Amino acid sequence: MELSSSLRTLIGQTVVADVEACRRRLADVRSARGILDAHEVLLLARLDELTVDEPAIFPEAELATAAKSSLNNAVKIRNRKDTCERVPELGAALADGATTGDRVDVLANATKGMTATELRRVAEHGPQLAAMAATGTPRQYRETVERIVGAARDDDGLGRLARQRKASRLRWWSDSFGMWNLAGRFDPVRGEELEGRLRNTVETLFHDKTPADAPADPLDRLEFLAAEALALIFDGKASSSGVPDVAVLIDEQTILDGCRHEGSVIDSGLGRFGLPVETVRRWACIGTVTPVVVAADGVRILLGRETRLANREQRRALKVLYRTCALCDTPFEHTQAHHVAWYTLEHGLTDVDNLLPLCRRHHHLAHEGGWKLQLAADRTLTITKPNGDIEIHAPPTARAARPLRANA
């Protein structure tokens, strides 16, 4: 009753003098929302306690019924409660009204599927998470969560990516207006690639010739052009090939070592987070996405596509040596040039002696799959798998007439 009276007092103050007063009231609203979210978590915790004596109680159902919402929303409150218990500093910030439940949800979603050990590593950063949840912008908070969660994962999120890929869906239906609808959900890696390719197609087709029937509203026009681009790709009137319009900002140490550190930067520029380092390294090999590498001094940069891609002469040289993927029978034309050893800003030339043709599947395994490849001078290939198994592949039987070396 006391909480309800306080809220009624806040809502009842309808006269607001000026902009500053509006801002103060909005801050009060945010605080009240956080306190309500915390109170909901507290009630769920109490319902859990009551189930000991009354096993028939289903706490999530009680929440859904009282709020006239769904069980899915009640499950979200359950995840919020578990997160507050694991990171008590964040729970305290919520109870004080310093942050809101949706900030807690960001951490809850980012830590799904993590092991107990990984979760304890995240919890060690409780004070930092609570402070950023209370004072940071949404983007600053998400980046903080991603950095902490990414560093805590033993596999840099590759397991989570695999689960997300299994959860990919695509559906279509016709609505009452007679429109054919298409909706899908994809893992963040495929999402980046699809969105980047669509952006690139829209730019290519409509940069200087917007259709006459395009909507005037900028947002509506962008969605209209994306739909037109997709339809033209389906009709075969536009190519979906080429490099997507996406660049990933990454620091030199992270891309060289292949693992995160305290100051790691991995930013795709599309407002998302959660990309494994090995995915960015694979993209850098094939130019699907341009890696913008920031040197250790924070000043120099290297646009990956300028030196990282194998040029036509290098691919021709590789084809002399390999008629297929280096690890299977996939034709060479369907392979991607994998850089066996990584580059540095000072020595970034793509050299044919460091290239290996891999099909899409084996290229994934060489990066996201954790396979470690070593290429000897005679091109004997040694593969060390995550479980410790070692495979040795003899040099290719097709040899060039003279040593092959090409400059980028």
Count Cβ atoms within 10 A of the Cβ of residue 304 and give its class: 0-12 exposed, 13-18 middle, 19 or more buried: buried
User: Sorting pLDDT into bands at 50, 70 and 90, what band is 404?
Assistant: very low
Q: Has residue 352 got a pLDDT over 80?
A: no
136-176 pLDDT, tens digit each:
888 789 888 988 888 888 887 788 888 888 999 999 999 99
315 within some domain = no
Give the range of the structural domain holding residue 16, as residue numbers without chain letter. 2-154
162 within some domain = no
Q: Which of 133, 154, 175 is at the close of a domain?
A: 154
347-351 LR contacts (CB < 8 Å, sep 24+): 348/302, 348/307, 348/308, 349/307, 349/407, 349/408, 350/307, 350/308, 350/309, 350/310, 350/311, 350/314, 350/408, 351/405, 351/406, 351/407, 351/408
61 within some domain = yes
Q: How much is the average pLDDT of 46-53?
A: 91
Q: What pLDDT shows up at residue 288?
A: 59
Q: What pLDDT shows up at residue 237?
A: 72
Q: What pLDDT shows up at residue 364?
A: 86
* Residues 327 and 336 sit within 8 Å (Cβ to Cβ): no
Retrieve residue 249's tokens.
């900002």
**Least-confidence region, from 13-27, 136-150, 206-220, 222-236:** 13-27
362-375 pLDDT, tens digit each:
998 988 888 989 98
Q: Are residues 88 and 190 in the same domain?
A: no
List C-alpha distances in Å: 71 to 48, 57, 58, 164, 360: 16, 14, 11, 22, 40
Q: What pLDDT shows up at residue 308?
A: 55
User: 80 or 240, which is more confident?
Assistant: 80
Q: What pLDDT shows up at residue 196?
A: 77
Q: Are residues 296 and 345 in the same domain?
A: no
Q: Are residues 198 and 64 in the same domain?
A: no
159 within some domain = no
User: Sorting pLDDT into bands at 50, 70 and 90, what band is 127?
Assistant: very high
109 within some domain = yes
180 within some domain = no
Q: Are residues 194 and 284 in the same domain?
A: yes
Number of domains in the chain: 3
* Residues 100 and 34 sit within 8 Å (Cβ to Cβ): yes
Neighbouring C-beta atoms of residue 57, cutoff 10 Å: 14
